[in-house]
Each structure stands twice: as structure tokens, then as C-alpha cells.
Structure 1
Amino acid sequence: MPPGGGGNGNRTTVIAVVAAVAVVAAAVVTGVVLLGEDDEGGPTRAAGKETSAPPSPTPEEPSASASPTENPRGGSVDGAEPTIPGWKVVTNPKYGTAFDVPPEWEVKSPGLSISFTDDKDKPLISMSGPAYFKSGWCGKNSILGAAGTRGANGASKTGPEAENVAAAWVFGGYDQKETGTFKVSEAAPFTATSGLKGSVSVATVTGVKKEDKCDTDGKSIAFAFKNANGDFAVWSLFTSKGVKDELPEATVKRILGTVRLAG
């Protein structure tokens, strides 16, 4: 789970605490690492078991660059069209999913994975087939938020998985030093407009110590469900909280409602 480096490494304590409390959503991203394969890193089990220290973007690759090197693997879902007129459709053939984003978002390659990493460049939480919200928001190598899908190997229920993923994004992306207050909502049943059923959890971290102009509080939302193959998958979105260009909650909910199975 990526943006800024540093921290005390006590991720187990943080996420365990985060997963225990109640919440609302949020997140910033200045350190997303681009992975060269369509394979999500990081745990799908309880986030509290992650013990790695805070992320540090690899210097060779831009963090959440506005024009990252994309892995073309994955292709597209034939005939995929947005369900909201004027929006863009985002497909992920690997998991057989799709969702829509507003026209100003950047839809990246289905084969591209992005991840927040620890100080040893180990992926802590990732997603593939992402769409970016406001690339270059705080400098060339930054994005204000992103949404995408990941697998959930080892998951047994959608509720805990949604909570773990939501918590992991705000911790890894916004406050690995544990300077702020984390909140994670208990997962609730959710049915998308398409009829896809699963569980949703939102997470926030507020009061983050601002050591850099790009440091912000954060929020995230995760929707866990089973795809057409009966495998668990998780759609998630993270973005900054409390900033001028903050992604409105109404837009977050509208994007969430478009998540569906495809292909």
C-alpha cells in the first residue's frame, strides 16, 4: 500500500486497531509503485497480520506517474460499455469485472497493477486494472486517488475481506507512521445496481502529521464479492480526504454502484 516512506514499522498494531473500530471513507497517493505484472501483492488475510514498515516508492519507477509504463496483458472485455452515459468503463478480464468512472478519470491498462509498498519495496496492498483520479495533483509523480480490482485468495467471507482491504489502503497510502486516527466500518451487505451482492467497508485516517506538502488524510472503500467463477474479488477506491479537490462522497457511491461482473 504506497505513498510516503518512513514510519515505525508497527503495522500489526495499527491495522489490528483499525480493523476494530467504526468508520467513513478517505485517501492521498504520492507513492504508488507500478508493478510489472497483473498480480496483486499484499495480504488478503487479516490486515493486522502485516508487519512490514511503511512504503517507499522505488526510485527507478515514478510513483503513480501520470504516464506510467503499462503492461498490456489482460486485453479488454468485448462489448463493454459504461452504464452511466458519458462515463468511462473500466474492465478487468482477470477477475471478470467492470465499473464506470467519470470522464475526467484516466483508465489504465487492464494488465497494470499498482501497489503501496513498505521500506523494503514489498507490496503491501495492490490492485490491477486501475483508473486514476487527477494525475499530477501534487507534482508529476502523484495521483489524488485510484480505483481498481484485486483477487482475494484465501478469503472465506466477503465482510472481513472488505474491512481488511479498506483498512490496508488508508494505512499503507496515508499514515504508516501511525500519527493519525484510523477508523474502519464494520462491513455491511451491499447490492450494486447490476444485482451483484457482497459486502462494503469504508476506512479513514484523519489528523495525519503533515511532513510534506503532499501529505494528507485519506479515505477508502472496498466492495468484496464473488465473481462468475465463484472466486472472491475486491473492488476498492482510495483518495485523499480534506483537500480542495477531494472526491465527493456522492461520486464515490455512484462509482461503487456500477461495479459488475463482465465477460
Structure 2
Amino acid sequence: MLSIVAALAVVVAAGVTGFLVLGGDKDGEDRAADAPSKGAPQASATAGDDDGRGGDDGLKPTVKGWHVVVNPRWGTAFDVPPEWDVQNPDTALTYSDDKTGEPLMTMSAPAYLKPKWCTADDDKDGRNEDHELAAVGTKGAKGAKSTDEIALVQAESWVYAAYTQPDKKSYTVGKAEPFTTKSGIKGSIAWARSKGSPMTGKCATDGKAITFGFKNSEGTYVSWSLYGASGVEGEVSEDTVMKILSTVRTHGEPTKS
């Protein structure tokens, strides 16, 4: 894992790792994401000194009673329902290959729904790991050629990383479709869903993910993604997903481009 992880107390949960975003491309967050053919990811919880509402940057939500999630790195903002746990903008989460440890998917300034939804020691290392019910955030898409490509590749990659690794046959990816947020941002969305994932363990479930590919105020390709467990009690409904997605907007000048 990245050496910067040692800079803070990291809580590991199912393979996703939380860490401070200190710049550079080593965490893979600048990339459009590789299609899931390079191994499998792990899952982990975010760490940091956030008070749970550190991402709003003084902005008012577009949905009454919701909280704002701001990512200064990519110049984006969106709203989440009040039960979501908003992380500090300087934190990120990553799923890593559970065989090689290499990062597969990363997003920064995330928000979680029930970050300790399921806790288990599936790898029998004597350490319990927390699994979130769902997570949402934004990342870069360096190298992408279109918003369709971003939506398709990243939605697939999140489901693979979080719910099916190393299996590439237990999920399906829908078509990329045009989408416009309430603020007028145009781009593309795509869904990916797993069914009958061969992953095992107390917290193993099928999952779903949606990615919205678009350009920020500097014309740089970026993405918003939400993934979550499916077929379980409390699953994030599609209506809620789309309501969150509709609030995506640009905010300020991106500090990373």
C-alpha cells in the first residue's frame, strides 16, 4: 500500500484503505481506471481527523436537510442524505488487489452509508474489518476519451473491486446513457450489477455501482461514483441514488487538473 498511509492511523475494513491525499498520481485517482482485468480489490474504512461533516465547505445543500460533499481536488460538490457519514475532503478510499496489494479503484472526499454495516475477520488475521453498506465520491479520469468510456469502465471496476473479485463473470454492465444534473452538467451514466458473486465470508454480498462521467470547470474529465451492497436490508434505492446524482455540480477552481 502507499507509504503515505503511515502518516495517519488507518482503519482497515475488508480491504479498502483510508489515507490522506497528498498529491501525485500514485494512488491511481487521476486515472480513468483500468477495466477489471488486472486482479482483484480489497475493502477498507476511511481514516482521518474529520468530524463527520467536514466536507460541506460552507455550501448550502440543494436538498433541504441533506449534507454537502465537496471535493476541492476536482472542483466538485454533491449532496447526500443526513444519515450518510461525510469524510474530510483530504481523505480518500481505495480498493486494492487482494493478491498483489496494488490499488485498483480510488475516490477522494468520500461519504459512507453505515461505515460499520458489517464487521468480520474473513481473512482470519485476528483483526476485525468494517464493511460499509455504500459509499460515494469523485475521482479523476485522466486518459479517458469520452464520458461514455468513463461511465462504463468505472462502474464495472467498482463492482468488480468491491463485490466480485477475482471473478469477472458474475456482473453485468448496462449501456452508457446521457445524463444532465439539475445544475446543468452534461455527461454519461452507466450501471453495473453483480448477481451470484462467488465471494465468501460473513460480509460478502452482491453489489451495484453507478458512475457519472463529466467535465469539471477546467474541462478535465472527472467522475462521480456510488457503489453499495444489493439484495440486503437497507439497500440504497435507485430513487435515492438518482436523487444524489442529480445534485452533482462543479464548485470552485480544481486544485488538481
| 1:135 maps to which of 76, 94, 115 | 115
Other-structure match for 1:54? 40
CA distance in 2, matches of 1:78, 1:109: 10
CA distance in 1, matches of 2:195, 2:109: 28
TM-score by structure 1 length? 0.79
Structure 2 residue 156 is the aligned partner of structure 1 residue 167: yes
* TM-fit CA distance, 1:177: 2.6
Give per-residue Cα distances to partners, 1:156-198, cap 9 Å, x unaligned.
2110111101000000111113175211111111000111111
Structure 2 unaligned blocks of 5 or more: 1-12, 120-128, 253-257
| 2:17 maps to which of 22, 33, 36 | 33
Other-structure match for 1:236? 225
Question: In 2, are the aligned partners of 1:54 and 1:176 still within 8 Å (CA)?
Answer: yes
Structure 2 residue 227 is the aligned partner of structure 1 residue 246: no
Identity of aligned residues (%): 42
Query: Aligned pair count?
Result: 225
CA distance in 2, matches of 1:173, 1:79: 32
Map 1:84-99 → 2, pairs under 5 A: 84-99=63-78
Map 1:172-251 → 2, pairs under 5 A: 172-178=161-167, 181-251=170-240
* TM-fit CA distance, 1:38: 5.1
TM-score by structure 2 length? 0.80
CA distance in 2, matches of 1:251, 1:180: 27
* TM-fit CA distance, 1:55: 2.6
State the superposition RMSD in angstroms.
2.3
Letter in 2 for 1:208: S
Structure 2 residue 67 is the aligned partner of structure 1 residue 125: no
Question: In 1, are the aligned partners of 2:14 and 2:42 still within 8 Å (CA)?
Answer: no
Going from structure 1 to structure 2, the CA distance change for 1:81 and 1:251 (only over 3 Å counts) comes to same
Structure 1 unaligned blocks of 5 or more: 1-28, 58-62
* TM-fit CA distance, 1:111: 1.1
CA distance in 2, matches of 1:232, 1:179: 26
Give per-residue Cα distances to partners, 1:16-53, cap 9 Å, x unaligned.
xxxxxxxxxxxxx83311133255526845633x5432
CA distance in 1, matches of 2:147, 2:161: 21
Give per-residue Cα distances to partners, 1:59-90, cap 9 Å, x unaligned.
xxxx215xx23589xx8675411100000000
CA distance in 1, matches of 2:241, 2:206: 16
CA distance in 2, matches of 1:136, 1:70: 17
Other-structure match for 2:45? 64
CA distance in 1, matches of 2:30, 2:220: 16
Other-structure match for 2:9? none
